[in-house]
Amino acid sequence: MPQDRSPRDDDRPARHDPSLNGLLARAGTAQAPSPDELFAAFARQAQVFIGIADTNLRPVFVNAAGREMVGLSPDDDVSTLSITDFFHPDDQAVIRDVALPTLLQVGHWEDELRFRHFGGGSGMTVHWRAFALYDVDGSFIGAATITTDISARKRAETRLQASEARLQAAVDLVGLSAYSWDPQTGVLDWDARLKALWGLPPDAHIDKQVWLTAIHPDDRPRVEAAVAHCTDPTGDGVYHIKYRVIGIQDGVERWVSTHGRTGFEAGLPVSFVGVVVEVTAQVRAEAALRESEHRLSATLAQLPIGVGLVDPDGTIALANRELRRYALDRIPSVEAEASGRWRAYAPDGRRLSPAEYPGARSLRGETVVPGVDFVYTHPDGLECWTRVRAAPFHNVDHEINGAIVVVQDIDREKRAELALRESEERFRRFAAHSANVLWLADLESGRLDYLSPAFAQVWGMLPEDMPDIASWLASVHPEDRDGAARALERVGSGETFVLEYRIVRASDHAVRRIHDTFFPIPAEDGLIRSAGGIARDITTDTGLRAYVIAVEDDARRGFVGALQAVGYEVQAFASAQAFLKVAVSLMPGCVVLDLAEPGDLVVASELKAARAHLPVVAVGASGGDVGFGVRAMKAGAVDFLEEPWTAEALLFVVRTALAEIDAAADRARGRDEARDRIAALSEREREVLEGLLAGGTNKIIGRTLGLSPRTVEIHRARVMEALGARTLPEAVLMATAAGVRPAGRSDT
């Protein structure tokens, strides 16, 4: 397979006159490069990711810039990788299941995805464009991609969205009302919230006289002076005042704070824009604080959360008992030693700096609600989750005179939330990758609420094509349908039930054997309204499938490469423990186990007892110990391959291991086929078959069933034809394998 290479010195232009005339002069004297040479130089020297794959969509070329983007060296062989390997694990399913199939069908595909970094660094967000390549005859010859790094743009977009969201949240949080005034015409434009502060309905007319009428008489001179100041062309145009309003219709007294600025043209005020917020509660709180700090302190002491008053320099002037648990003299925003014990992170994963902590933000005038979640480390090293809120503390002149901070212990809540999120994520990953079908059903409505992705593989149909329990029962083999229905009844009464049954796939009419665990899901009131289950396809089907377990990267790549080269579907694991965690959900196949450590044989011993459809081939260096391979096989391995091994030897032992599974699959398919054929017999034909199994002649069977020997002979011929048996012993063997018992016998 051709290998890509980095630009060599002879690929770079020599140092010549860089001017246009110089370039044209050399172009006139030198032989012009061919288009292929120009394209090759472009692909090598482009500063974006350029990759080319063959007809099997295996990478054959990645340029130097592309290698640098994903952390590959110039000597790394990209042909050992797949296209999906270049992407973040969370995006690999999109590439595998959507991008590549679409590329092959329509010839192109693009999206914004995340690259991985093979060198262990952080990946990047990219715009990935892929397109199919065709020769002059229109035949598909491969694919190519041109990928650009958009990480910086995506980060900027995220920050902008977060900033806009915070701004809108702040406006909604504090109840701001924007308004405008035309100094030339006197026209006022108010929203419904501002009219409500004046005790007016949303459709009320507003003019200057209405505005002035509601202002408290004691405050009107100050307001008029402030208006005169902001409309004075020699001033700064700023209007900032807090005053009382008496509702025109409701008579309620409210405090409002307004801030605005006048625009001037040719020395005349021509526009004004401002905002108003009701500060009644704040003013009353300030008055209450002035009346009695002692009463406030006593109240704070009773609160189950930490509350404190912070001076402008960050010193905690007042703290209740709960806040003192955090051993603070000054807020972490301004004390380096304390800030080291408080860790918080932005939505993008970046650790917040002390300047971004709620305390520092509130001292700058910002109200931080609902707050920031921190991990706090106690002096004894114990960590706990806390939520910190803060708001600026204003004096009677509305000047920032400190901050109020609230610290709430949310450790139990946060850990439960993280555990639930981790549990849900594990379930989603398990459901997405498990070969088992996970299902949830509403027993009252009969609706199937959830079917995991494996359903499409096992049942041969999309989950949305099976919306309810009735559809599921219809897919169950007729002979097993009653048992499946009874299983649902039992789980509805609170019993966990395990059932093996057969299904008939609608897509290809194939019969599959299912091992299903039914379990009840109680509601909050204890009643069983839902049920769930895990259905596993136990129909043996190996295909060309292998699982490689090797600790060393080189060994693992060696096994995978040798098996994939001849068409095996290979899944690799870096440890025996990682394999055993998911072994129960794997499809049948051969396990290639690299014996790096003696304890690795635990895989063979555990699978020998529990999963016969995963035979283990052990590979190791015996070091002259003739009993080494014997011990491996006694532990459960079906074969032992001595190191150093060859590809031919590896493929031989894997094929041999899979042959036994295939033989078992053939036997199982034979039994299922016999059961299906026997299930199609009429009741009378089955009675004749049972009589034949008991060794009866046509005359004896006829006497037992009340038939003539001739009629028995006709039924016997139909039975032989239905079973596809040429001789009576062959028919007897098929019936016995299918579980048919002779007439007059039972299993009891």
For residue 5, name the pLDDT band (cuts at 50, 70, 90): very low
Count helices and strands in the chain by DSSP H and E runs: 27, 26
Where is average pLDDT lowest: 17-31, 33-47, 218-232? 17-31
Amino acid at 580: L
Q: Is-contact 499 518, C-beta < 8 A?
A: yes
Distances (CA, A) of 415 to 20, 375, 432, 482, 537: 67, 11, 25, 45, 37
Q: Which pLDDT value is given to residue 584?
A: 66
Task: Look at residue 45 and tell me whether its pLDDT is greater than 60.
Answer: yes
pLDDT in tens, 80-128: 899 999 999 999 999 999 999 999 999 999 999 999 999 888 889 999 9
Where is average pLDDT lowest: 76-85, 156-165, 351-360, 434-443? 156-165
Distance CA 61, CA 594 (A): 31
Distance CA 182, CA 165 (A): 30
For residue 747, name the pLDDT band (cuts at 50, 70, 90): very low
Q: Is-contact 309 404, C-beta < 8 A?
A: yes
Task: Look at residue 224 and tell me whether its pLDDT is greater than 70.
Answer: yes
Contacts of 225 (CB under 8 A, 6+ apart): none
Q: Exposed/middle/buried for 542, CB within 10 Å: 0-12, 13-18, 19+?
A: buried
Task: Look at residue 379 and tell me whether its pLDDT is greater than 70.
Answer: yes
Cα angle value 44/143/149 (rounded, 5°): 55
Q: Which pLDDT value is given to residue 2?
A: 43
Q: Which pLDDT value is given to residue 430?
A: 65
Distance CA 491, CA 488 (A): 5
Q: Which helix (H) or strand (E) holds 503?
A: strand 497-504
Q: Which pLDDT value is given to residue 6?
A: 45
State what percent of residues in the chain have pLDDT above 90. Answer: 39
Q: Which pLDDT value is given to residue 10?
A: 47
689 is written with which tokens?
Answer: 């078959």
Supply the DSSP symbol for 465: G
Distances (CA, A) of 562 to 77, 573, 649: 15, 16, 11
Q: Which pLDDT value is given to residue 27?
A: 52
Supply the DSSP symbol for 289: H
Q: How far apart are the first and last CA of the chain?
A: 66
Distance CA 735, CA 714 (A): 19
Distances (CA, A) of 596 to 313, 556, 619, 621, 639: 62, 11, 9, 9, 16
Distance CA 306, CA 520 (A): 43
The CA radius of gyration of the chain, in Å to the nearest whole number, is: 39
Distance CA 745, CA 732 (A): 15
C-beta atoms surrounding 297 within 10 Å: 13
Average pLDDT, stretch 32-47?
82
Q: Which pLDDT value is given to residue 507?
A: 80
Task: Look at residue 392 and tell me whether its pLDDT is greater than 90.
Answer: yes
Q: Which pLDDT value is given to residue 271?
A: 93
Distance CA 3, CA 696 (A): 74
Distance CA 186, CA 176 (A): 22
pLDDT in tens, 138-153: 899 999 999 999 888 8
User: For the chain, what percentages of helix, strand and coil (3-state, to nearest 5) are there?
Assistant: 40, 25, 30
Average pLDDT, stretch 131-142?
92
Distance CA 674, CA 678 (A): 6
Q: Which pLDDT value is given to residue 339?
A: 77
Contacts of 582 (CB under 8 A, 6+ apart): 433, 434
Q: Is-contact 333 309, C-beta < 8 A?
A: no
Q: Which pLDDT value is given to residue 449?
A: 92
Task: Look at residue 388 and tell me whether its pLDDT is greater than 90.
Answer: yes
pLDDT in tens, 679-730: 777 888 888 888 888 888 888 988 888 888 888 888 888 888 877 777 877 7
Contacts of 716 (CB under 8 A, 6+ apart): 688, 692, 698
pLDDT in tens, 234-276: 999 999 999 999 999 999 999 999 999 999 998 999 999 999 9
State what percent of residues in the chain have pLDDT above 70. Answer: 86
pLDDT in tens, 278-337: 899 888 888 876 776 666 666 667 778 888 889 999 999 888 888 888 888 888 888 877
Helix axes 647-679, 728-737, angle to 10 degrees: 100
Q: Mean pLDDT, the chain, as a whole number?
A: 84
For residue 628, name the pLDDT band (cuts at 50, 70, 90): confident
